[in-house]
Structure formats: structure tokens, C-alpha cells
């Protein structure tokens, strides 16, 4: 007896194998760089099996397309105009790879990556085409529910999705991230959170500042402190107080699912909200940032809460919701000032009637009051740290250590920190276009982790759909975030996708949902009852992302990312460092940064103190400053080529100081 859907299962299995093999062809890894496909000669030499699987998939897909080529071609021509197909094809092609220094390699990679995406797209089409309509796809259609608004409340569907994101992000943090910071920013966020949890704004200056030199810490005559905005460290401080800072972002990731669900129901309908949650559950961009110690998940929480506040204030007319919206909007700026400014403009325009009905005077006044309260706190915080309410600590820090205007918006040769991943010195429109290319490509990869490219549904809706009220709000948010960051010198780097554009997440998901709805409607119009095939294709791509992309990214990139490792905390137990001075040899990042995060806030505490062994002079100063402690010498990952390694100890501090003093 033939198995129903046997051919569909074959195509699904082939898509699974093809994506897994294609991921093996990519050079991502723990180094700080954007991912690229490896050159063909290297693939033939080092990954012939994976390349062979991709080639076999392409041959099988071409053979499979022969049977459906004519009806598929007729259907496409009947539903889309030539210019629409061309525009979608250009977007599909140009987002398949990102720029390289070598132009010839960039052209090669564009075609190579586009072919792989196209093969996977055709593979999914074959799966959906061969899938019986009365298969689980039909149950998925019923599971998503109807188009009714559903009261805008939180149901079991939303709670289940929130639990999924929280649990997966927490597991990734525990096993892949090892509850340890990996990006330099994360180190100071955690340190900042710890001293905020103890009610401190600054710390006494270390006795040997050069031995305790960490990026993004400002060193003054009598004190040192982290200059980053206090919003995210304050949230992390709650987790630090309970000893679980690594759980803060996973919990916020789950909360974001609930907020997004209510917001999407209010702007669209319950079915769209459920489809949005399905996409978010399998979004590497969403889940891996929720795994991290970065600021962006909280920024999204506050942005969603503020948008929800305006929507509910408009619906119910209550000033309370206006106040919530104002406080949350100000909170975005307390976490990330540039995004806060952008979001305040967007929400302010929405509140006064652009894209919707104007809020009632009481609610509008409460919105302004809430924003003003947070702005006042920000100015007071600036006054305490810089002495000037108008000068943000982070701007004072970058001007001091990297040069005037190095972190300012706009174009000019004085912009930027001189980092290796910055395209060109300074900032110009050329740099801005390159940054946009890097971020757009990152979104195509990280938004959903689809083998077909993640932007395809949004591109379909953009070029073939008819936007209505909420869609224009989403497009306005995307345009504003893009526009502001066009004038910022840095793209955000390859850490966690296009993280500087992270507030585009929900708008892009919403447009993707609209693209899926558009495709479903097109299929239904020509073959009633077959629209569920589009949902089946989306569900299959989401499942492949979770099965293939998530483990690959967790193992290949974020495990020991940038050579940041928690080995030192295990060595402290193994060697029983106790009340000692541990001199770490290597670079400031990752070697010393990986150890510095385990320093006590009180550098006289009865605990191991980790100092940077950056040279004989600093080593001698540190040994003399802590002459009553035994000294351990440890080599970091950049020295050993692997993990941390104890090379000597315990030694007398006087012996270390004398030996260091003898070295010129």
C-alpha cells in the first residue's frame, strides 16, 4: 500500500540534507568576520562530500522540476507581472552574499550562493507541490486559527511559543555560550550590572590601572566606571542580584513573544499573530540575541511595550496606557540612545495621528510626561558621571580614547575607531552603502535561517502586495531605523546578525507574514483548498532552521566565539587559587577580558584577582601592589592556541617583582 505523501517526504528529506551540506561550505567560525562561502578550489579539496551532496540535490531538483515546469510557469505568469518577478529575483540575487575586498570573489560568491538558494527554493516548492492537501498541513491551517481578532489577549499558543524561546535561549546560553561573555561589550555590561546591584555608580580606581585595563571602562584620577548607558546593566543587575544574569535575556525573549502576539493581533488579526510567532520561534536573530548578554533584546521589549501602550491608549482612551508608552519609549533611549531617539520620533508621530487616530489629550500628555521622566533621569545620570547633563558618558569616553567625534553621527574623516572590520577610514556615503549591504545580507541569513534566504516573503509582499494601514507603519519603522544608521560609521559587525537594525525584527516578520498570506491567497485563487501548501512550505523551512541552522550556529560560531572561554573559573577551582594574584598573559581581548569578568568588585577581597600581564613593568607594579598574595602565571588562548593554561605558581610576589624588574 503506497504511503500518502511519500514523494513529499523525499523532497523534505533532500531539503534537510541539502541545507546541512550547504552550511558546511560556509566559512563562519569563531573569528570576527562576516561569513562567506569558501572558494571552489578549497571546497573541492576540503569538503568534497558536502559539495557532492549539494550537487546531487541540484541534479535531483532539476529532474523533479521537469514534471511541474509548465504548470508552475503558467501559474507564475498568471499571478505576477514580469517586472514583479524581475524585482523579486534581483532582491533574491543581491542578498544571497555580501561584499568582499576581492571583487572577483564577490561576483563568484553572488552566483554560487544564489544558485544554492534557488536550488533550495525549488526543493521546497517540490515538497509543497507533492504534499497531499489532507496532510498535516491542513491541521496546521486550523491550528493557526481564523482571521478574527480574538480579543487581542494571550492564549496557550502564545504562552507555549514564549516558553519555547525562553528555554531554547537559556539552553544555548548554558551549553553554547557557557554562561560567559564573548563580545567586549558583554564583559562590561556584566561588570556594570554587578556594581549597580550593590548600589554603586562608580568604583575606586585599581592600584595599578594598567593591570586591570578592560575595554569600555573609563579610568579617572580616583575612580573607574563603565560609560555605557545604564538601562541594560540595570536590568542585568536584577539577574546578578539573584545570581542568574544569564537568564535575563532568555526571559525577555519570551516576554517579547507575548508582547509581539498582542501587538500583532491589534494591528492585524489572530491568524497573522500566530504565524508571526511561528516565524519568531525559529528566528536565529531573535533566539541567539536572547541567548546573549547584549542589549538588543531589552530594547525590543521596551519598543514593543511602548507601541502596545500607544495602541491600547488609542483603543481605550486611558491616560495610563499613554504613560506606559512614554516610560517605555524613554527606556529604549536609556538602553540604546540612538534607537531611543528614532523610536521616540516614530511613536510620537503615531501618537499625534500619523498612521492612526490621535490620542486623547490626557493620554498624549501622559505619553509626553513618561518620556520626560526618563529623559530627566538620563540627564541626572550624565551629570553624576560627566559633570554635564548634556554629555553622555559613552560620548565622553569615545572622545577621550578614540578622538573627538569618533562616535558621532554624520560623515567625515574623524568618524570611527579604526577597527579592522570598518570598510574605510572615517565615514562617507560609500561606507554607508557597504554597511547597508552587510546588514541586509545578515538579515537574509539570520532573520529565519532559511536555506532559501529569509527575505523572500517580505520581498514578495513589497513588490506584489498592496500595503494597508499597519503595513505602512512597519515600512516606516524599517525606513527610520535604516535612515538613522545610514549616518553612523559602524554597521554593528557580524555579532548576532544586523544587531544595530534589530528593531526591524517585528516589522520584517509582519511583512513576511503578509507575504505568506499573499502567496496563500494566490494559490487559493487558482486552486481552492491548496493554499495550505504555502503554510506547509513555511513550516518546513522553519523546522529545517531549528534542526540544521540552530545547532550549526551554536557549535560553529558561538562556542568559544572570538576565543572567549570560561576556562579560568575552572582553573580557579582546580588549582585553588584562593586569595592570590593571577597574572594573565595575552591580549586585552580575549585573554584578559575572559578572566577579568571573574574579578571581585573589591580588589582587596579574599578572592583571586586577575590582572593583565602586559609587560615587565606592569607585572612588577602589580606584584608589588599585592605583595601579600601568592602569584600564579597563566597563558591565555592567543598564547596557547587553545585554552587557558597555568604555567607557574604559586610564586612569591617579591620573586615575581624582582624577576620582572630585571627584564628591560
Q: What confidence tens digit (pLDDT) does each residue in 546-575 have?
A: 999 999 999 999 999 999 999 999 999 999
* Residue partners of 262: CB distance under 8 A and separation at least 6: 152, 153, 154, 273, 308
Q: Average pLDDT, stretch 378-406?
A: 95
Q: Average pLDDT, stretch 233-258?
A: 97
Joined grid coordinates for residue 287: 533566539
Pair type for strands 203-204 and 223-225: antiparallel
Judge whether residue 461 has pLDDT over 60: yes
End-to-end CA distance of the chain: 85
Which stretch of 95-109, 518-532, 538-552 has the lowest confidence by average pLDDT? 518-532
CA dihedral in degrees (494, 500, 505, 506; nearest 10)?
A: 170
> Could you tell me the pLDDT band of residue 136, with boundaries at 50, 70 and 90?
low
Q: What percent of the chain has pLDDT over 90?
A: 89
DSSP string, 478-501: HHHHHHHHHTSS----STTSSGGG
Q: Report the alpha-carbon distance of residue 144 to residue 500 in Å, rounded.
A: 32
C-beta of residue 185 within 8 angstroms of C-beta of residue 493: no
| 611-628 confidence digits (pLDDT tens) | 999 999 999 999 999 999
Whole-angstrom CA distances from 15 to 27, 64, 140, 248 are: 21, 13, 20, 35
Sign of the torsion formed by the C-alpha atoms of 211, 609, 561 and 298: negative
pLDDT of residue 2: 44
Q: Read off φ and ψ for residue 241, nearest 5 degrees.
A: -60, -40
What residue spans define the domains of the chain? 6-135, 565-661
| 143-200 confidence digits (pLDDT tens) | 776 555 445 689 999 999 999 999 999 999 999 999 999 999 999 999 999 999 999 9
| 353-381 confidence digits (pLDDT tens) | 998 889 999 999 999 999 999 999 999 99
- Which among 137, 139, 113 has a CA at the least distance from the CA of 12? 137
Judge whether residue 661 has pLDDT over 80: no
Judge whether residue 1 has pLDDT over 70: no
pTM for the model stands at: 0.95
CA 216 to mean position of chain CA atoms: 20
3-state helix, strand, coil in the chain (%, to 5): 65, 5, 30
Q: What percent of the chain has pLDDT over 70?
A: 96
**Count of alpha carbons within 13 angstroms of residue 81, beta-carbon side:** 6
**Mean of all residue pLDDT scores within the chain:** 94
Joined grid coordinates for residue 602: 573589591
Between 608 and 141, residue with greater pLDDT: 608
* Kind plus residue range of the DSSP H or E element containing 357: none
pLDDT of residue 171: 98
pLDDT of residue 146: 54
Pair type for strands 218-219 and 223-225: antiparallel
Q: Average pLDDT, stretch 119-127?
A: 97
pLDDT of residue 6: 87
> Could you tell me the pLDDT band of residue 659, with boundaries at 50, 70 and 90?
confident
Judge whether residue 4 has pLDDT over 60: no
The helix/strand/coil state of 603 is coil
* Residue partners of 485: CB distance under 8 A and separation at least 6: 338, 435, 439, 500, 501
Strand stretches in 492-595, DSSP E: 581-585
Q: Over 464-478, what HEC string results? A: HCCCCHHHHHHHHHH
Beta bridge partners of 219: 224
pLDDT of residue 421: 82
Q: Report the alpha-carbon distance of residue 361 to residue 111 in Å, rounded.
A: 56
pLDDT of residue 664: 40
pLDDT of residue 151: 54
* Residue partners of 531: CB distance under 8 A and separation at least 6: 141, 520, 521, 523, 524
The helix/strand/coil state of 37 is strand
- Which among 624, 621, 645, 642 has a CA at the least distance from the CA of 633? 645
- Which among 360, 362, 356, 390 has a CA at the least distance from the CA of 375? 390
| 213-228 confidence digits (pLDDT tens) | 999 999 999 999 999 9
Q: Average pLDDT, stretch 280-297?
A: 98
The helix/strand/coil state of 356 is coil
pLDDT of residue 137: 59
Q: Report the alpha-carbon distance of residue 503 to residue 500 in Å, rounded.
A: 8
Pair type for strands 609-612 and 26-27: unpaired
Q: Report the alpha-carbon distance of residue 443 to residue 491 in Å, rounded.
A: 12
Rounded to 5°, the CA angle 390-485-439 comes to 145
CA 582 to mean position of chain CA atoms: 34
Q: Report the alpha-carbon distance of residue 367 to residue 227 in Å, rounded.
A: 28
Q: Report the alpha-carbon distance of residue 479 to residue 464 in Å, rounded.
A: 19
Residue with cell 554587578: 194
Pair type for strands 581-585 and 609-612: parallel
Q: Average pLDDT, stretch 56-71?
A: 95
Amino acid at each position: 500500500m503506497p504511503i500518502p505523501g511519500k514523494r513529499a517526504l523525499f523532497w523534505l528529506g533532500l531539503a534537510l540534507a541539502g541545507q546541512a551540506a550547504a552550511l558546511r561550505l560556509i566559512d563562519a567560525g569563531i573569528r570576527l568576520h562576516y561569513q562567506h562561502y569558501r572558494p571552489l578550489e578549497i571546497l573541492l579539496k576540503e569538503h568534497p562530500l558536502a559539495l557532492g551532496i549539494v550537487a546531487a540535490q541540484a541534479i535531483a531538483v532539476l529532474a523533479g522540476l521537469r514534471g511541474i515546469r509548465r504548470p508552475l510557469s503558467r501559474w507564475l505568469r498568471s499571478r505576477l507581472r514580469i517586472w514583479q518577478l524581475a524585482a523579486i529575483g534581483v532582491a533574491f540575487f543581491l542578498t544571497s552574499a555580501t561584499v568582499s575586498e576581492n571583487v572577483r570573489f564577490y561576483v563568484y560568491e553572488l552566483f554560487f550562493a544564489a544558485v544554492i538558494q534557488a536550488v533550495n527554493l525549488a526543493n521546497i516548492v517540490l515538497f509543497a507541490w507533492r504534499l497531499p492537501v489532507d496532510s498535516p498541513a491542513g491541521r496546521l491551517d486550523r491550528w493557526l486559527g481564523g482571521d478574527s481578532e480574538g480579543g487581542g489577549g494571550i492564549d496557550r499558543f502564545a504562552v507555549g511559543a514564549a516558553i519555547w524561546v525562553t528555554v531554547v535561549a537559556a539552553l544555548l546560553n548554558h551549553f553554547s555560550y557557557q554562561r560567559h561573555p564573548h563580545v567586549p561589550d558583554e564583559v562590561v555590561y556584566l561588570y556594570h550590572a554587578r556594581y549597580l546591584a550593590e548600589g554603586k555608580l562608580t568604583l575606586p580606581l585599581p592600584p595599578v590601572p594598567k593591570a586591570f585595563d578592560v575595554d569600555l571602562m573609563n579610568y579617572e584620577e580616583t575612580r573607574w566606571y563603565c560609560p555605557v548607558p545604564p538601562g541594560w546593566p540595570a536590568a542585568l543587575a536584577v539577574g546578578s542580584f539573584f545570581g542568574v544574569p544569564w537568564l535575563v535575556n532568555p526571559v525577555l525573549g519570551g516576554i517579547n513573544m507575548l508582547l509581539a502576539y498582542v501587538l500583532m493581533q491589534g494591528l492585524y488579526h489572530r491568524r497573522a499573530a500566530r504565524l508571526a510567532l511561528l516565524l519568531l520561534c525559529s528566528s536565529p536573530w531573535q533566539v541567539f540575541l536572547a541567548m546573549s548578554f547584549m542589549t538588543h533584546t531589552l530594547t525590543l521589549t521596551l519598543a514593543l511595550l511602548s507601541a502596545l501602550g500607544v495602541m491600547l491608549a488609542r483603543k481605550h482612551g486611558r491616560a495610563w496606557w499613554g504613560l506606559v508608552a512614554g516610560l517605555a519609549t524613554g527606556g529604549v533611549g536609556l538602553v540604546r540612545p540612538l534607537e531611543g531617539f528614532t523610536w521616540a520620533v516614530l511613536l510620537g508621530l503615531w501618537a499625534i495621528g500619523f498612521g492612526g487616530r490621535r490620542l486623547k489629550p490626557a493620554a498624549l500628555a501622559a505619553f509626553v510626561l513618561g518620556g520626560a521622566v526618563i529623559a530627566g533621569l538620563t540627564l541626572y545620570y550624565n551629570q553624576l558621571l560627566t559633570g554635564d547633563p548634556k554629555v553622555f558618558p559613552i560620548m565622553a569616553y569615545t572622545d577621550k580614547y578614540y578622538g573627538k567625534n569618533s562616535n558621532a553621527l554624520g560623515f567625515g574623516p574623524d568618524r570611527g575607531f579604526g577597527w579592522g572590520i570598518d570598510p574605510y577610514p572615517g565615514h562617507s556615503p560609500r561606507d554607508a552603502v557597504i554597511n547597508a549591504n552587510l546588514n541586509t545580507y545578515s538579515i537574509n541569513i539570520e532573520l529565519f535561517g532559511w536555506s532559501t534566504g529569509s527575505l523572500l516573503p517580505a520581498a514578495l509582499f513589497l513588490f506584489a502586495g498592496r500595503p494597508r494601514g499597519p503595513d505602512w507603519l512597519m515600512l516606516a519603522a524599517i525606513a527610520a531605523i535604516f535612515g538613522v544608521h545610514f549616518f553612523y560609521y559602524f554597521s554593528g559587525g557580524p555579532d548576532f546578525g544586523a544587531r544595530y537594525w534589530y528593531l526591524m525584527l517585528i516589522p520584517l516578520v509582519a511583512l513576511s507574514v503578509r507575504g505568506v498570506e499573499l502567496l496563500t491567497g494566490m494559490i487559493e485563487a487558482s486552486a481552492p483548498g491548496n493554499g495550505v501548501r504555502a503554510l506547509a512550505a513555511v513550516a518546513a523551512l522553519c523546522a529545517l532552521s531549528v534542526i540544521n541552522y540552530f545547532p550549526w550556529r551554536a557549535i560553529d560560531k558561538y562556542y568559544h566565539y572570538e576565543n572567549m572561554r570560561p576556562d579560568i573559573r575552572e582553573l580557579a577551582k582546580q588549582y585553588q587559587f584562593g586569595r592570590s594574584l593571577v597574572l594573565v598573559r595575552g591580549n586585552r581581548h580575549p585573554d584578559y577580558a575572559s578572566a577579568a569578568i571573574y574579578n571581585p568588585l573589591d580588589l582587596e577581597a579574599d578572592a583571586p584577582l586577575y590582572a593583565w600581564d602586559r609587560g615587565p613593568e606592569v607585572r612588577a607594579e602589580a606584584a608589588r601592589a599585592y605583595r601579600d598574595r601568592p602569584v600564579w602565571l597563566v597563558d591565555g588562548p592567543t598564547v596557547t592556541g587553545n585554552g587557558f593554561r597555568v604555567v607557574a605558581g604559586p610564586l612569591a610576589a617579591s620573586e615575581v617583582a624582582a624577576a620582572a624588574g630585571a627584564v628591560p
